[in-house]
Structure 1
Amino acid sequence: MSDELYLVFTMDCERIARFSPPGGPQDWNISERAIRGFAETLLENNLIGTFFIVPETAQRHRELFLELEKEGFELGMHYHAQAFLDGRYKKYLGEYSSEEQYEQLEAAKDYWEKALERSAESFRAGNCSASDDTFRVLKELGFRQGSTYIPDRNIPKFAAVWVGAYPYAHHTHSSNRLIPGDMEYFEVPITADPERSRVWGGKDTLQLRIEQVGKEVSPQQHLDLIDRIIRDQVEKEIPIKTIVPVTHNFFDYSDRENPLQRHLARVAKYFWEAAERFGLKLMPATIKQIHQAADAF
């Protein structure tokens, strides 16, 4: 059993709210301050992570993302059907057929790659929306890994039903999104409470979502959750132990008086302490690096 704990902080980078029905930052200035402040806070704590970026935001913040890539961050693709292009798509990704998903994601991938002049290899679906076809479609399009779901999320409205989904990093199945398989496409789920405590009116599992603090959970509840997550993977002898916190580019993480920035810094520091207490070596990582580590294990 490995004594390494892979930690990848993630940020979903959306279009501004007026172009993004599922939600977005108030304006591009807040978006930039969120992205830069998030990265600076992590780097100050010797951590990195993965940005999941919708195509239009990749274009808007191109130079910023390329700068952060040089600091060790990974640039992955994020996708909300309703926020892409001119709003022509009205449903959630998982509601579309495999052919329709392929068509949309192919166009989005092309847009993203032209914006950043990089290959899009890692993916996250907006709202965790997916069907049993989605992982296969992603593999066919050349994506290699992702972080698409929250275990036990149950929101049919979003086509985001993950009740019973395998909660640890794994290769995916070609026709069943809930179980491991032998496809090359590798999934590192957003980390959720192993005790399955609920938030959002019972629709979602408690997770390390930074912006929940002050609304649904206290800072101490997040620190306790980190301990439960690590203990669960140690006791079950999970070979590739991972933790994936999440946030969005809606919040000014460059403002050191912002309670969310303070909580991000608190959590970032706490991971080092918690890993040491459990006798694990903390490995700051990206989603791609976790896939590479799993294949080399």
Structure 2
Amino acid sequence: MESVHVFMTMDCEPTTATSHPDATGPRDWAHGERAVRGWWKLAQEHGCPVTFFIHPETAVGQAAMWRELEAEGACLGLHMHPWKYSMWKHGGKRYLAHFGGLSAEEQHALLSEAGAIWADAIGHAPLYFRPGTYSANDSMYAVLSSLGYDGGSCSAPGRVLPEMQAIWTGAELDPHRANAVFRQTAGELDFVNVPQSMDMSRLLEGRIGRRMYADLRPDVDWPGQYGAAWSTIATNILAQTMARNPAVGTIGVQTHNHYEYLDPECPQVQRLRAMMAEVRKACDEAGVQRRGSTLADIVQAVRATPRVATPFVVEGAIFESQGKVPTLQS
């Protein structure tokens, strides 16, 4: 693997005034703007453009800023926590759920309605998507594809948060064309999913049995809370990606719009600087070129790769530790 796309994103939530005091999101729009502009500035220091996933309320409340940043090279997509949108738009009477808790019909109606609001604020329809908390079910990709979305960052491999319908055990680890009926595997849709990058070396357990792998997000103090050093996370993500040797390799960095990214003393700023230094070091030592990319860039790169037919695997002695796996083609 000669190069890797370094992919910096921010989930841009509505203010907690319309959701819940303990929810993700800024106190007010000024707080949110400082976070966005600080993240943009820090990303530029590392040679990366930014992909912003923007909740509908946030698109409306900060429309001028989003249009400005898009003109400067940012990629904009729709972000969606249905329950937050429900509180703001419907008083909690419709869509009061996590995204994976909605039927296909509900997802289609919600995205059509919210997408129109987003488009009116931004000036064009959204083409990219990320569900809040990576909550999803098997209807999601077909719905997004039917609505004309080009791609998204919709999965967190290995994450298990049943209470939020965010279960990604066994999911694809690298960018791929999505599957219309089974979200964990690659498929034939033109919609491209770019998973969040994970260090798959150690499964971690949080509160109430939540399970996840460490990733590159300055939101979480992985070293302090879980004993996972930034150097280990960055090195393992790159090494694991190189071992898989995907057609399109990525290193994803993610955050939210409620941190003071303009303040150099902010803990999240310091974590970001530490992790990005480790990403640079890992790539340099491995001889891998870093390419700062938006989600749109990665979607285009995946679509440019030839489709590869997946052999149909037949059942047999499926638990044997060795031997050839039978397929209809063999």
The alignment's TM-score, normalised by the length of structure 1, stands at 0.94
Post-superposition offset of 1:217 = 4.7
**2: CA distance, partners of 1:156 / 1:262:** 32
Count of matched residue positions in the alignment of Structure 1 and Structure 2:
295
Post-superposition offset of 1:268 = 2.9
Post-superposition offset of 1:271 = 2.6
State the match for 2:289 in structure 1: 281
Q: Which moved more, 1:14-23 or 1:43-52?
A: 14-23
State whether residues 147 and 188 of structure 1, in contact with CA within 8 Å, keep that contact through their aligned partners in structure 2.
yes
1:216 lines up with 2:217 in the alignment: no
**2: CA distance, partners of 1:132 / 1:26:** 34
Q: Work out the percentage of aligned pairs sharing the same amino acid.
A: 31
State the match for 1:99 in structure 2: 105
Runs of 4+ in 1 over 6 A off after TM superposition: none
State whether residues 8 and 286 of structure 1, in contact with CA within 8 Å, keep that contact through their aligned partners in structure 2.
yes
State the match for 2:314 in structure 1: none
Q: What is the alpha-carbon root mean square deviation over aligned residues? A: 1.6
1:174 lines up with 2:180 in the alignment: yes
State the match for 2:35 in structure 1: 34
**1: CA distance, partners of 2:158 / 2:258:** 25
1:186-220 alpha-carbon deviations (Å, 9 max, x no partner): 100111112143142442222212110276256x7
State whether residues 230 and 278 of structure 2, in contact with CA within 8 Å, keep that contact through their aligned partners in structure 1.
no
One-letter identity of the residue aligned with 1:294: V
**2: CA distance, partners of 1:67 / 1:266:** 29
Higher gyration radius (CA): 2
SS of the residue corresponding to residue 225 of structure 2 reads coil
**1: CA distance, partners of 2:220 / 2:273:** 15
State the match for 1:7 in structure 2: 6
State the match for 1:144 in structure 2: 150
State whether residues 192 and 302 of structure 2, in contact with CA within 8 Å, keep that contact through their aligned partners in structure 1.
no
SS of the residue corresponding to residue 77 of structure 2 reads strand
State whether residues 16 and 26 of structure 1, in contact with CA within 8 Å, keep that contact through their aligned partners in structure 2.
yes
Post-superposition offset of 1:148 = 1.1
State whether residues 122 and 145 of structure 1, in contact with CA within 8 Å, keep that contact through their aligned partners in structure 2.
yes
State the match for 2:323 in structure 1: none
**2: CA distance, partners of 1:135 / 1:196:** 28
Q: Which ranges of structure 1 fall in alignment gaps of 5 or more residues?
A: none
State whether residues 141 and 183 of structure 2, in contact with CA within 8 Å, keep that contact through their aligned partners in structure 1.
yes
One-letter identity of the residue aligned with 1:29: A
1:56-107 alpha-carbon deviations (Å, 9 max, x no partner): 1011111222222233221111001011124333211111110011000111
Post-superposition offset of 1:15 = 0.4
State whether residues 17 and 24 of structure 1, in contact with CA within 8 Å, keep that contact through their aligned partners in structure 2.
yes
Post-superposition offset of 1:118 = 2.1
**2: CA distance, partners of 1:124 / 1:173:** 16
1:250 lines up with 2:250 in the alignment: no
State whether residues 158 and 169 of structure 2, in contact with CA within 8 Å, keep that contact through their aligned partners in structure 1.
yes
State whether residues 216 and 275 of structure 2, in contact with CA within 8 Å, keep that contact through their aligned partners in structure 1.
no
1:122 lines up with 2:117 in the alignment: no
- Cα gap change, 1:222/1:20 in structure 2, threshold over 3 Å: closer, same or farther? farther
Q: Which ranges of structure 2 fall in alignment gaps of 5 or more residues?
A: 306-330
State the match for 1:68 in structure 2: 69
Q: Which has the higher contact order (CA 8 A, sep 6+)?
A: 1
**1: CA distance, partners of 2:205 / 2:293:** 27
**1: CA distance, partners of 2:32 / 2:194:** 25
State whether residues 135 and 173 of structure 1, in contact with CA within 8 Å, keep that contact through their aligned partners in structure 2.
yes
State the match for 1:25 in structure 2: 26
